[in-house]
Structure 1
Amino acid sequence: MILVLLVIAGLGFIGWKGWQLQQAMNARIDQLKEGAANVEQVRELTEKTGQLETGVNERRQAMTQTIDGIKTEFTDYKTEVNETLDRVLAELSKEQSADSRDWLHAEAAYLLRLANQRLQLERDVEGAAALLRTADNRLREADNPALVPVRRAIAEELAALQGVPRIDRTGLYLALNAEQEQIAGLPLAQDIEELTADTTIAEAPSGPWQEQLSKIGSELKDLVVVRHHDQALEALITPEQESYLRQSLRLVIEQAQVALLKEEQDLYEASLDKAIKLLEGYYDLDDSGVQAVITSLTELKGESIHPELPDISASQQALASFIEQRFEERNSGQENAGQGGDS
């Protein structure tokens, strides 16, 4: 019994071990089946991936070929456009170079004409010099040796303009205005000695203003009557006459100021000379203020307000001749080219 039991126990243990082995084998078989399935999936996936990569590569190659073709066409087009543009720019550059120099010549000629007008009509020395310098800059940009005579004439004209004396018209005008204010408070002479009845300018310059000065002198002539007495008398000028005298002197000073602004030298000197005669004839010469005003007006009378201006037309004429000669040479060259083409 014990042996039978041991045999049965051994068979049971062997059976159990066999069952475990069978289970392990089944599990292994299942794993192998799953692995085979995964391998098949991987194989299929690999095949599909290879096909996809092949398609992508084919598309990439096709796209690369298309892009290369587009690049080639664009490069050819760009090259053609650049060549055409270069030709057009070269032609425009040639035309522009010729036109640019012609424009510089024309602009310089216009500036020189303005400089002459500014000097002759407005007597503006600074403005004329500025225009001459600008014209010289334009000729310098033209860079043509044939323009050297023109530039030499401009340099000489600028030097001549620098020699013209500068007139401080504003200062002179204000000085006359100050003297006019001083005259308003100066005392008149209490005893008027014998005066010449003719107070007009002895040698007045000709012009429409001469009539005004003569008229003032005639009115003053009628205003004051000279009488001889053995005894001293009271003032011979009434308040109304004094007001008229002071007003006349003020107008004479204002006339000198107008002549100053218009650069009329003769009228300026004649007006101040008239003012000095009125002061010497009707104001108290013993008063220091009267003497100071007379001295100041005498000094102002000696100022030159109309300086002689130089002639700056040589450069304008030289440039006009240059432009005319250049035009004739160009027309002659075109005619010769046309005759050569016909032959």
Structure 2
Amino acid sequence: MLLVVVLAVALAFLAWEGWQRLENQQQRLDELAQKADNSATQADLADLNERLESGEAERNQALESTTNAMQQAFSEYRSEVNNTLDRVLAQLSQDQDADEREWLHAEAAYLLRLANQRLQLERDVEGAAALLRTADSVLNSADNPALTPVRREIASELAALDAVPRVDRTGIYLALNAQQERIATLRLAQEVEEQPVSSSIEEPPTGTFQRQLARFGEELKDLVVVRGHDEAMEVLITPEQESYLRQSLRLILEQSQLAVLKEEQALFEASIDKALDLLNRYYDTSRSETQGVISRLEEIKQTNVTPELPDISRSQQALAEFIENRYESRGGES
């Protein structure tokens, strides 16, 4: 056993010593490989750096060449634009020297065209009138008696615009809103008030069962009344139907408000008619509050939210004819 132990220790020592030698050799091999890699990496880096410097030099040269070309092209373009602008300004200066009033005529024509667009597209009576007054002031500055017919048409159109009735759309909108609030408090025609139950039986029934049954039959006859009707009875409105009815009426009045803002007369009147029909059919018209709302809605319905607009294009046509005749006369003279 001692010999076996000694041999085992000897083998272990030899194995450890061999392992240490292998590890030292592997470490030296790794160091050599790392040195080789470092040498190769430094060479690659040097080559890459050289190529980068060469590429950067070429890029700088190309950028400088492109910049010079762009500067030259921009300089030529600016010179051409300046020359063109000088020619245009010279031509305009000659036209202005020929007759300064041509600019005033063109400005007045533009204002008249804008006034027509404002009236026809936006139905802005006050804006169109302001543009007409500005155009008349410009024509007055031209100081040309030949423009008198044009200014006469402008004066006539201003008078027509002044005659257009002004619609207080904000007031109508608020009036309809006030009626909505009043309708929310009105009573329906089928609302039934709760009444206390009263009994005509003053004393408890006495006597035999047949006597009590006969007395109960007499009492029942007094409570139940049967009536005949030629027409069908209208079904009572449920709470859900009442809520739907009030909501529908509110939406109809909001539709009439929208018609006021959009200046749609037919929709405005039709919406109020629907509201009046619901009020007369389902609300208690015997009450003064309901009659007051109906009367106010009928009064609002008479409002003309889309007044007829005049034609203000005659002044624009007259000025266009004046400018055309002026150019023709100048062409004939030349």
TM range (shorter): 0.5 to 0.7
Report the CA distance shift for 1:96/1:234 in structure 2 as closer, same or farther (over 3 A).
Answer: closer
Residue 129 of structure 2 corresponds to which residue in structure 1? 129
Q: Is the 8 A contact 1:190 1:235 kept in 2?
A: no
**Equivalences for 1:175-324 in 2 at 5 Å?**
175-190=175-190, 236-324=236-324
Unaligned runs of 5+ residues in structure 2 are 1-91, 193-227
Q: Is the 8 A contact 1:256 1:268 kept in 2?
A: yes
What's the % identity of the aligned pairs?
70
Report the CA distance shift for 1:243/1:252 in structure 2 as closer, same or farther (over 3 A).
Answer: same
Instruction: Return the letter of the residue paired with 2:109.
Output: A
CA distance in 1, matches of 2:261, 2:234: 42
Residue 162 of structure 1 corresponds to which residue in structure 2? 162
Residue 145 of structure 2 corresponds to which residue in structure 1? 145
Structure number with larger C-alpha Rg: 1
CA distance in 2, matches of 1:98, 1:246: 73
CA distance in 1, matches of 2:98, 2:258: 51
CA distance in 1, matches of 2:96, 2:250: 64
User: How many angstroms does 1:281 deviate by?
Assistant: 0.6
Residue 327 of structure 1 corresponds to which residue in structure 2? 327
CA distance in 1, matches of 2:176, 2:137: 41
User: How many angstroms does 1:252 deviate by?
Assistant: 0.7
User: How many angstroms does 1:235 deviate by?
Assistant: 7.5
Residue 172 of structure 1 corresponds to which residue in structure 2? 172
Deviations 1:174-231 (A, max 9, x none): 1111111111111111279xxxxxxxxxxxxxxxxxxxxxxxxxxxxxxxxxxx9589
Q: Is the 8 A contact 1:191 1:235 kept in 2?
A: no
Q: SS of 1:151's equivalent?
A: helix
Instruction: Return the letter of the residue paired with 2:292.
Output: A
Deviations 1:30-72 (A, max 9, x none): xxxxxxxxxxxxxxxxxxxxxxxxxxxxxxxxxxxxxxxxxxx
Deviations 1:281-327 (A, max 9, x none): 11111222111110000000011111111111100000000111111
Report the CA distance shift for 1:98/1:284 in structure 2 as closer, same or farther (over 3 A).
Answer: farther
Residue 105 of structure 2 corresponds to which residue in structure 1? 105
What RMSD in Å do the two structures reach over aligned CA positions? 2.5
Q: SS of 2:186's equivalent?
A: coil
| TM-score, L = length of structure 2 | 0.58
Q: Is the 8 A contact 1:108 1:136 kept in 2?
A: yes
| TM-score, L = length of structure 1 | 0.57
CA distance in 1, matches of 2:296, 2:97: 62
CA distance in 2, matches of 1:100, 1:236: 82
CA distance in 1, matches of 2:294, 2:234: 25
Report the CA distance shift for 1:97/1:129 in structure 2 as closer, same or farther (over 3 A).
Answer: farther
CA distance in 1, matches of 2:169, 2:268: 12
CA distance in 2, matches of 1:94, 1:230: 96
CA distance in 1, matches of 2:121, 2:136: 22
Q: Is the 8 A contact 1:111 1:131 kept in 2?
A: yes
Residue 200 of structure 1 corresponds to which residue in structure 2? none
Residue 46 of structure 1 corresponds to which residue in structure 2? none
**Equivalences for 1:41-52 in 2 at 5 Å?**
none
Report the CA distance shift for 1:240/1:146 in structure 2 as closer, same or farther (over 3 A).
Answer: same
Deviations 1:153-183 (A, max 9, x none): 0000001111111110110011111111111
CA distance in 1, matches of 2:294, 2:250: 14
Unaligned runs of 5+ residues in structure 1 are 1-91, 193-227, 335-343
**Equivalences for 1:67-78 in 2 at 5 Å?**
none
User: How many angstroms does 1:100 deviate by?
Assistant: 3.2
Instruction: Return the letter of the residue paired with 1:188.
Output: L
Instruction: Return the letter of the residue paired with 1:254.
Output: E
CA distance in 1, matches of 2:325, 2:253: 55
CA distance in 2, matches of 1:229, 1:282: 21
Instruction: Return the letter of the residue paired with 1:164.
Output: V
CA distance in 2, matches of 1:302, 1:162: 22
Deviations 1:8-35 (A, max 9, x none): xxxxxxxxxxxxxxxxxxxxxxxxxxxx
User: How many angstroms does 1:94 deviate by?
Assistant: 7.8
Q: Is the 8 A contact 1:115 1:127 kept in 2?
A: yes
CA distance in 1, matches of 2:99, 2:333: 17
CA distance in 2, matches of 1:103, 1:123: 29
CA distance in 1, matches of 2:98, 2:269: 55
CA distance in 2, matches of 1:104, 1:97: 14
CA distance in 2, matches of 1:95, 1:285: 77
